[in-house]
Structure 1
Amino acid sequence: MRVLVVAAPLAGHLAPLLPFAHALWDSGHEVLVASGGEATPAGGAGALPFIDVARNLRIGRLAARSLLAHPLAARAELTGRGGDAGVRSLFGPLNEELTDAVVTVAEQWRPDVVLHEPLAAAGALAAARHDVPAVLHESGLFDGVAAARVLLESHPLQRARARHGVRGVPGPAMVLTITPQSLAGARDALAVRPGRAGAGDPLPGWLKTPSVRPRVLVLRGGGPMRGDLQASALRVVAGADDLDCELVLARPPGRLVRRAGPGVRSVGRVAHSELLPACAAVLHGGSSGHVLAALAAGVPQLALPGPGDRRYNAELVDARGAGIGGAVTEEALRRLVHDGEIAAAAREVRSEIAAMPSPQARVDIVAALA
């Protein structure tokens, strides 16, 4: 079986699909990953065959154009309140530009199945154009079917459909979800255990030994808030006399390392699956990858609401009780480290994720579609 894997040209969109792509490859199926930009092989495709379908696509240019054409939707998206309009404003034009290349790759490579993430609806269009089944593999915590439908009904994708003679795009033949049911409710999808990030630097020896004070891991934020989350954590801890914890900053900017006082340490590119079990709690910028990594480790988390789906992700964590969705405050840090109910809920979701079927366990079901 040949499977074309399609993701938007962003590392966070391709990474959740890679465990399943590798499971297909390891089972003897042919796999071709179609993406680009920061999601090129250096972003994690590994040994899988890869083709750049976004060579001439510039995310920054599209974002600027979206801001000018849809200023209200774009500004709402920056606060995590963009909804369907936010998805359409950026990912509609992005997918229109991807469509020609993805359709051409499908025509030349002749896949038996197209597996795509929700915000790479160009994959669904290409599957319809060549009359092969499409499998939608969710890449985050939001409802992937609804997001893909929003894109396919957008004006840019309608233009792309007309250009390639595709009157309608059927729903996916199968949907795979990586979201634990207790987090976002039941979905009409097959559950697949979210995968872990690849190897990184070795875990430092000092993190392998118990700490007298609770260790709080602080990951870097994404995009414009890259160093802001860690700076906020430093300010809160420095201003609290009785907040007795040790901060562990992951890949902090040099300026923060120079300002850090006692009780603050840093680590390099250590895989989150190694770092998280060594810590009592984690602070992060709200990405679905960070949320799922913390849940898989059973570690209480503070998810900072932010642009795109980050506000939604933070709200899910808060509603489940496995962490806090909100700003970094002294009260939030104290709850995160000492609230037994949060810790118990995080462990419950860890058990739930461990019980989800592995990607390998779902390969034969997808192969049956071919």
Structure 2
Amino acid sequence: MRALFVASPMVGHVQPLLPLAIALRDAGHDVVLATGPEGLAAGRSSGLDVRDVAPGLRVMPVFMGQALAHPLQARRAAAGEEREPSFVGVLFSALGARMADGVVRLADEWRPDIVVQEALAAVGALAAVRRGVPLVVVNMTFFDAERLFAVTAARLGGVARRHGLVHLPEPAEVLGTAPPSLVGSRRGRPMRFVPVPGDGAAPADLTRPGARPRIIVSRSTVADPRPDRLMSRVVEAAAGMDVEIVLARPDKHVSRGPLPANVRTTEWLPFPAVFPAAAATVHHGGAGTILTALAAGIPQLVTPGAGDRAVNAELVAARGVGLAIPTEQITPADLRRLVGDPALKQASRDVADEIAGMPAPAELVEPLAALAR
């Protein structure tokens, strides 16, 4: 079987596809991953055959252009007020339109038997319908996968017609990585979330529990030139506390200033290697970071924010595996609860067990091969 994987050119969108792609490759199938420049390194770190289908594409200018073209939607999304993923469809369909020619060209040259895409890379559907093969959607978010696919695909009609295609197909299968206890029952097959560490080894001491509870603080992998108030707020709240604060990839505004003795900074950290030894994490609310913390069984403090981050934070709090607190409202009491509340710890361990019980990517190889026959 020849499987074409398609991902938006962002680390957090490439990585969730890698465990399944690797499982197919290791089972003897041919796999190619199509993405853009900002996703290439994440894909190639796994040893997969990765193709750049949109040379020169930069994500942030595309997103900023769409925000300027749709200012009201953009403001609502930035404030976390969108309960449905409408503006995300605007953003990712614009990315997909710029990837379309390369994806279709690759599909025509490589002739896949099946196309696997992440939910927001609806451009993968162009390749599937072009080749007349099944489309599989891997959902790495907490939104409904078919809704995400629909809002993105709906804006690619013009691109489809330009390639001589009348419509984009519905997914033949959906694979969901979100634990049902957070999002409820959904159509499709569950697939265990397998964290991808990426390149680089973790500092040895961070892979072991320390003398004090350790809180790892991270921010989005999406580049943002603005000061990061999340990290500076945690530093302020943790001053004088008997905890160890680790700031992963702090921006220059934080790292240039004086830091308390219980705070240290690091470069990129492989979270799958360091989360199990931590007491908790504080982060921006990205789905990948949430799932990595859940798989490690540690409580998390999530700051509601733009896009899906408000919904993600609510789900974490509702399940009892963490706290949802706006950045400027984080207090020392919140950090003490984060590392000391037995209920948060138990709920986090329960969800880790739930994730471990979901089918591994390798268990889905044969069903996908059967779908492609």
How high is the TM-score relative to the length of structure 2? 0.91
> Which moved further from structure 2: 47-56 or 5-14?
47-56
| Structure 2 residue matching 1:50: 3-state secondary structure | strand
Deviations 1:239-290 (A, max 9, x none): xx6x432212223346537511222233444421221122111111111111
The match for 2:365 among 358, 363, 366 is 363
Q: Any conservation in 2 of the 1:3–1:32 contact (CA below 8 Å)?
A: yes
Which whole-Å CA distance do the structure 2 matches of 1:226 and 1:291 have between them?
22
**How far apart in 1 are the matches of 2:11 and 2:206?**
30
- 1:109 aligned onto 2:110: yes
Matched, 1:37 2:37: yes
Partner of residue 180, structure 1: 179
Distance 1:270 1:356 in 2: 26
Q: 1:163 to 1:191 in 2, by over 3 A?
A: same
Pairing of 1:314-333 with structure 2 (within 5 A)? 314-327=313-326, 328-333=330-335
How many residues are matched? Answer: 364
Give the conservation status (yes or no) of the 8 Å contact 1:98–1:122.
Answer: yes
Give distance in 1, aligned partners of 2:279 and 2:134. Answer: 44
Q: Pairwise mapping of residues 276-355 of structure 1 onto structure 2 (< 5 A)?
A: 276-327=275-326, 328-355=330-357
8 Å CA contact retained: 2:33, 2:51: yes
Show the counterpart of 2:93.
Answer: 92
Q: How far, CA to CA, are the matches of 1:296 and 1:42 in structure 2?
A: 20
Distance 1:262 1:273, change over 3 A: same
- Quote how far apart the aligned CAs of 1:168 are: 2.4
* Secondary structure at 1:369 match in 2: helix
TM-score normalised per structure 1: 0.92
Q: In structure 2, what is the equivalent of residue 250 of structure 1?
A: 248
Instruction: Quote the sequence identity (%).
Output: 41
- Point out the more displaced range, 180-189 or 73-82: 73-82
Residues 1:148 and 2:149 aligned together: yes
Tell me how far 1:42 sits from its aligned partner: 4.9
1:10 is aligned to 2:10 = yes
CA contact (8 A) 1:33 1:48 kept: yes
Root-mean-square deviation (CA), in Å? 2.0
Assess if the C-alpha contact under 8 Å between 1:53 and 1:98 holds in 2.
yes
Deviation of residue 209 (structure 1)?
5.1
Task: Measure, in 2, the Cα distance between the counterparts of 1:226 and 1:276.
Answer: 25
CA distance in 1, matches of 2:227, 2:116: 31
Q: CA deviation at 1:149?
A: 0.8
Cα deviations by residue, 1:151-206 (Å, 9 ceiling, x for unpaired): 1222xx11012112222223111111111100111111111111122353243337
Contact kept, 8 Å, 2:89 with 2:148, in 1: the verdict is no
Give yes or no for contact 1:116–1:135 (8 Å, CA) kept in 2: yes
* SS at 1:175 equivalent: strand
Greater shift, 256-265 or 109-118, is seen at 256-265
Deviations 1:8-52 (A, max 9, x none): 111111110001000000000000100012101355553111111
CA distance in 2, matches of 1:302, 1:296: 15
1:206-234 CA distance string (max 9 Å, x none) = 763541x3222212344436743221111
2-structure distance, mates of 1:74, 1:26: 42
- Structure 2 Cα separation of the partners of residues 234 and 360 of structure 1: 41
CA contact (8 A) 2:38 2:58 kept: no
For residues 50-65 of structure 1, the aligned pairs below 5 Å read: 50-65=50-65
Does the 8 Å contact 2:89/2:120 carry over to 1?
Answer: no
Give 1:359 deviation, angstroms.
0.5
Q: Give the aligned residue type for 2:284.
A: G
Deviation track 1:114-163 (CA, whole Å, cap 9, x = no partner) reads: 00011110101220122110011112222111110111222xx1101211
How far apart, in 2, do the equivalents of 1:43 and 1:173 lie? 24
Distance, in Å, in 1 between the alignment partners of 2:43 and 2:160 is 30
Retained in 1: the 8 A contact 2:136–2:172? yes
Q: Following the alignment from structure 1 to structure 2, what is the Cα–Cα distance between the partners of residues 138 and 187?
A: 11
Matched, 1:120 2:118: no
Measured after TM superposition, the shift of residue 75 of structure 1 is: 1.7
Query: What residue ranges of structure 1 are gaps of 5+ in the alignment?
Result: none
Closer/same/farther in 2, CA of residues 341 and 235 from structure 1, 3 Å limit = same
One-letter identity of the residue aligned with 2:249: R
Provide the rounded CA distance (Å) in 2 between the counterparts of 1:45 and 1:114.
21
Q: What SS does the corresponding residue of 1:40 show, helix, strand or coil?
A: helix
The CA deviation at 1:96 is: 1.8
Tell me: CA distance 1:209–1:279, structure 2 relative to 1, closer, same or farther (3 Å).
closer
Q: Distance in 1 between matches of 2:264 and 2:161?
A: 56
**In 1, Cα distance between equivalents of 2:227 and 2:180:** 30
32 and 235 in structure 1: CA distance in 2 versus 1, 3 angstrom threshold: same
Q: Which moved more, 1:315-324 or 1:328-337?
A: 328-337
Q: 219-228 or 144-153: which moved more?
A: 219-228
Q: 1:58, 1:68 → 2: CA distance?
A: 16
CA distance in 1, matches of 2:8, 2:209: 40
CA distance in 1: counterparts of 2:231 and 2:77, whole angstroms: 23
Does the 8 A contact of 1:230 with 1:249 survive in 2?
yes
Once residues 195 and 172 of structure 1 are traced to their aligned partners in structure 2, the CA distance between those partners, rounded to angstroms, is 22
User: Does the CA-based 8 Å contact 2:255-2:265 persist in structure 1?
Assistant: no
- CA drift of 1:317 comes to 0.5
